[in-house]
Chain A
Amino acid sequence: MSATALFGNTSGLGGSSGGNKHIVEFRAGRMTLKGRMVHPDKRKGLLYVYQGEDSLMHFCWKDRTTGEVEDDLLIFPDDCEFVRVNECTTGRVYVLKFKSFSKKYFFWLQEPKTDKDEDYCRRINEALNNPPTSGGRGGSGSGGQDGELQNLLNNMSQQQLMQLFGGVGQIGGLSSLLGTMGNNSSSGTTGSRASGNSGSSSRGGSAPRTTSAETARTPARPRYAPAPTATPPNTATAAAPAAPGAAAAATAAGGQIFLSDLQRYFSGLGNAPPEGEGAVSGSAAPRVDLGAALSAPEVVSTASEPPNAQRLAPHLPPTSATAAAQDDVRTTLLSPQFAQAANQFSSALTSGQMAPVISQFGLPTDVTSAANTGDMQAFFKALESASGSESSRSLEGDKKKDKPQDDKNDKKDGDAGMSLD
């Protein structure tokens, strides 16, 4: 039942919160749902919220008598609300509801006085939906994003910074931090998946607490979620006093920092300043699978050009030697096995885990660091500018001769090629 019991407590200090300060705590008992009725669990308990080392918010309930922590839920911002159940008149019952799934957690307040009930409720919501590290999210104006980023960086420990920039090994660093930032409802779906992964289905939207490495990885998911801009507006504004949208002026996305923004920011550190491409800003980049993209006719024709096919030939799967190299490039590109590998590649790339692998291919550091950001576009851009500057000039010349061959396919792409020439 208890996640902590299952996974053990990673840091033994000061109870379940591992020495982390409880942001809110008050005495409350649990309630269990039987059929359509909730029944109080008579044990004395403590409900509290704390922020873990990984910046994720933990929502916990512990038995005050035994000291055992029985609920330890990882909460993603804007995924849940803690509200009073007004239908219950015999006690002060509150429920923790998630947006992304239906599981509910009921609690009854055991504080002797009622005067602070509302305050506790408000503070719980605030802590869960507006975690401290993301600071002045409600801050106004166009500077909101940078300020928020600044805030984020300032609040990071040295270890976290190392994780963020190190990339290798601690892949989840950047993303775990992002998990705490306004990732809107996408983080909700994340949560439910995460719990599914760790095999504790009852946990629903919040990943049970596991080792820090594990938790660090789970929030990486939001980037696969559909663009947050497209999600319906926050329905439970009451639950999130400093709701997103306050800083809406900044971008269409509502002034939150999205993964792509931060990724672009970091990719910019290693690169030329990011170009303001209107199409991208303000919305999280969707998940792009290369499987389909790399089997497009223009790719096939480009790859099949003799000089290119020759370069690719050594890397083809060892199928029959009878067919000409060109044919094999073509079959390979169109094969489902390649599509699968390409999709895997794109997933790996967007997860930001590819840099160590990429670096083995003797690519310039610019390209490798772009790969590290997990932004496919940045990676491609770096790749293009890297190849544009050096040896490819001569190759480009060669291409001109071959041009007639793929003129048809080239028409659409021509502009981009030309403008860079």
Chain B
Amino acid sequence: MESAGDWCLIESDPGVFTQLIKTFGVKGVQVEEMWSMDEGEGVFDNLRPVHGLIFLFKYLQHEEPPHPVVTDNRLETIYFAKQVINNACATQAVVSLLLNCSHPDVDLGPELTKLKEFSMSFDPRMRGLTLSNSQTIRTAHNSMSNQTLFEFDQKAPTKEEDAYHFIGYIPINGRLYELDGLREGPIDHGPISPGQDWLNVVHPIIMKRINVYTEGEIHFNLMALISDRKMLYERQIQELMRETQILGMETDDTEKEIRRLRMLIEYEDAKMLRYQQEMARRRHNYLPFIITLLKILAEEKKLLPLYEKAKERALKKGQKKVRV
């Protein structure tokens, strides 16, 4: 968990991303984390439709793009924005995916629609600037970040900081593209044949990347931009209800199915509640809590013993590090 703070300004957590998207005013989508890709394309089964994938990894410099970078007039239809500021990379990856999303489930909402219309005619760099200057996006992004108790330079001393980077994979007009704000343009990963699921095309590409990173013990993180689960389940329930109305009778199967869907909805609701709680914790100012806690511990004379123990641990850790 500690490394999360080092990744980006905001945590790469599905809850954070889901709420970020909602704060933009986008409806009909959520973000889920993919824990493993080992079971083949089957990993996407519970997530379909998947609109895009967000891949987070440690940034290695001077990696040549494995595929051609698009510089032609496709840029007029693909929304590609260059990354202008670092800390916004996660947000930018999500926004780039959203702005290229044409699925009917996805409702961009007024803010992002406006932004897209406004900057579509710009070149990638100007688009990047537009994104980073958007009040809405910045406010949403910043509201996701952890409460910093104090404005002081606390990151630098911990360790050499790794640069993490977010990129997006998305199908656009029958081809698979990689959107990486540090490139000159979108990377074209080739065609998706008609009728072929784009996830089957992207899977080996992601697997290859993951294997490289796993060998190098590099942190990575994969998240999927998917349709709002609850919305899908509710839609399915409605459909089932309509069917039963038409048929005039309710079968055991449909009843069971509806019950199952209701449970899934409850599960989604609970998840959203959890996200909100986590967000409340993230934004909370813990200082009064910490001070009160320290006072309590001091009153019970448990503070110094605690410190001694913590110091011992730190010393042990420190010695190990030095020996290397």
Residues of A within 8 A of B (CB): 193, 196-197, 217, 221, 224, 226-227, 230-231, 279, 285-294, 296, 298-299, 302-303, 308, 311-312, 314-320, 332, 335-345, 347-348, 351, 353-354, 357-358, 361, 363, 376-377, 380-381, 383-384, 386-388, 392, 395-396, 399, 412-413, 416-417, 420
B307 & A293 in contact (Cβ 8 Å cutoff)? yes
A226 & B322 in contact (Cβ 8 Å cutoff)? yes
Once bound together, how far apart are the Cα atoms of A203 and B254, in whole Å?
70
A308 to chain B, nearest CB (A): 5
- The interface residues of chain B lying within 8 Å CB-to-CB of A413 are 301-302, 305-306
A288 & B1 in contact (Cβ 8 Å cutoff)? no
Asked whether any CB of chain A lies closer than 8 Å to the CB of B286, the reply is: yes
Best-buried of A288, A292, A320, A332 by chain B (most CB within 10 Å) = A288
Assess A303 versus B288: contact at CB under 8 Å? Given A384-B304, A413-B305. no
A387: contacting residue among B5, B280, B299, B315, CB under 8 A: B299
B311 & A288 in contact (Cβ 8 Å cutoff)? yes
Once bound together, how far apart are the Cα atoms of A340 and B309, in whole Å?
19
Once bound together, how far apart are the Cα atoms of A293 and B299, in whole Å?
17
A344 & B1 in contact (Cβ 8 Å cutoff)? no
Assess A294 versus B293: contact at CB under 8 Å? Given A380-B298, A381-B304. yes
Asked whether any CB of chain A lies closer than 8 Å to the CB of B147, the reply is: yes
A302 & B311 in contact (Cβ 8 Å cutoff)? no
A316 & B289 in contact (Cβ 8 Å cutoff)? yes
- The interface residues of chain B lying within 8 Å CB-to-CB of A320 are 273, 277
- The interface residues of chain B lying within 8 Å CB-to-CB of A337 are 146, 278, 281-282, 284, 286
A384 to chain B, nearest CB (A): 5
B154 & A315 in contact (Cβ 8 Å cutoff)? no
Interface string of B288-302 (1 = CB under 8 A from A): 111111111111111
Once bound together, how far apart are the Cα atoms of A344 and B282, in whole Å?
13
B157 to chain A, nearest CB (A): 4
What is the predominant secondary structure among interface residues of chain B facing chain A?
A: helix
Once bound together, how far apart are the Cα atoms of A395 and B303, in whole Å?
16
B300 to chain A, nearest CB (A): 6
A200 to chain B, nearest CB (A): 14
Once bound together, how far apart are the Cα atoms of A353 and B302, in whole Å?
24
Once bound together, how far apart are the Cα atoms of A412 and B306, in whole Å?
10
- The interface residues of chain A lying within 8 Å CB-to-CB of B5 are 340
A216 to chain B, nearest CB (A): 12
Write the chain B residue with the least CB distance to A194: B156
Assess A344 versus B288: contact at CB under 8 Å? Given A299-B293, A336-B4. no
A342 & B286 in contact (Cβ 8 Å cutoff)? yes
Asked whether any CB of chain A lies closer than 8 Å to the CB of B62, the reply is: no
Would you list the 10 A-B pairs with minimal beta carbon distance, nearest first? A317-B284, A224-B157, A341-B286, A315-B289, A226-B318, A286-B314, A293-B310, A392-B299, A417-B301, A337-B281
B300: contacting residue among A197, A347, A417, CB under 8 A: A417
Asked whether any CB of chain A lies closer than 8 Å to the CB of B149, the reply is: yes
B15 to chain A, nearest CB (A): 12
Asked whether any CB of chain A lies closer than 8 Å to the CB of B35, the reply is: no
B163 to chain A, nearest CB (A): 11
- The interface residues of chain A lying within 8 Å CB-to-CB of B283 are 317
Write the chain A residue with the least CB distance to B158: A224
- The interface residues of chain B lying within 8 Å CB-to-CB of A386 are 298
- The interface residues of chain A lying within 8 Å CB-to-CB of B293 are 294, 299, 303, 312
- The interface residues of chain B lying within 8 Å CB-to-CB of A294 are 290, 293, 306
A366 to chain B, nearest CB (A): 12
Once bound together, how far apart are the Cα atoms of A144 and B146, in whole Å?
46
B297 & A227 in contact (Cβ 8 Å cutoff)? no
B302 & A289 in contact (Cβ 8 Å cutoff)? no
- The interface residues of chain B lying within 8 Å CB-to-CB of A296 are 306, 309
B281 & A380 in contact (Cβ 8 Å cutoff)? no
A404 to chain B, nearest CB (A): 15
A345 & B281 in contact (Cβ 8 Å cutoff)? no
B159 to chain A, nearest CB (A): 9
Write the chain A residue with the least CB distance to B150: A348
B280 & A345 in contact (Cβ 8 Å cutoff)? no
Asked whether any CB of chain A lies closer than 8 Å to the CB of B148, the reply is: yes
- The interface residues of chain A lying within 8 Å CB-to-CB of B301 are 384, 388, 413, 416-417, 420
- The interface residues of chain A lying within 8 Å CB-to-CB of B296 are 302-303, 308, 311-312
A302 & B302 in contact (Cβ 8 Å cutoff)? yes
Assess A293 versus B309: contact at CB under 8 Å? Given A286-B318, A320-B277. yes
A80 to chain B, nearest CB (A): 20
Asked whether any CB of chain A lies closer than 8 Å to the CB of B153, the reply is: yes
Once bound together, how far apart are the Cα atoms of A314 and B292, in whole Å?
10
- The interface residues of chain A lying within 8 Å CB-to-CB of B273 are 320
B154 & A348 in contact (Cβ 8 Å cutoff)? yes
A221: contacting residue among B156, B314, B318, CB under 8 A: B156
A47 to chain B, nearest CB (A): 30
Interface string of B129-163 (1 = CB under 8 A from A): 00000000000000000111110111011101000
- The interface residues of chain B lying within 8 Å CB-to-CB of A303 are 293, 296
Write the chain A residue with the least CB distance to B282: A337
- The interface residues of chain A lying within 8 Å CB-to-CB of B288 are 314-315, 361
B299 to chain A, nearest CB (A): 4
B157 & A193 in contact (Cβ 8 Å cutoff)? yes
A-B contact pairs, 16 of them (CB 8 A): A226-B318, A227-B315, A230-B318, A285-B311, A286-B314, A298-B306, A299-B293, A317-B280, A317-B286, A336-B4, A338-B289, A340-B1, A344-B154, A347-B157, A348-B152, A416-B304
From 232 to 271 in chain B, residues with beta carbon under 8 angstroms from any chain A beta carbon are none
Asked whether any CB of chain A lies closer than 8 Å to the CB of B60, the reply is: no
Best-buried of A298, A336, A417 by chain B (most CB within 10 Å) = A336
Once bound together, how far apart are the Cα atoms of A180 and B102, in whole Å?
61
B280 & A197 in contact (Cβ 8 Å cutoff)? no
- The interface residues of chain A lying within 8 Å CB-to-CB of B208 are none
B291: contacting residue among A343, A347, A361, CB under 8 A: A361
- The interface residues of chain A lying within 8 Å CB-to-CB of B154 are 344, 347-348, 351
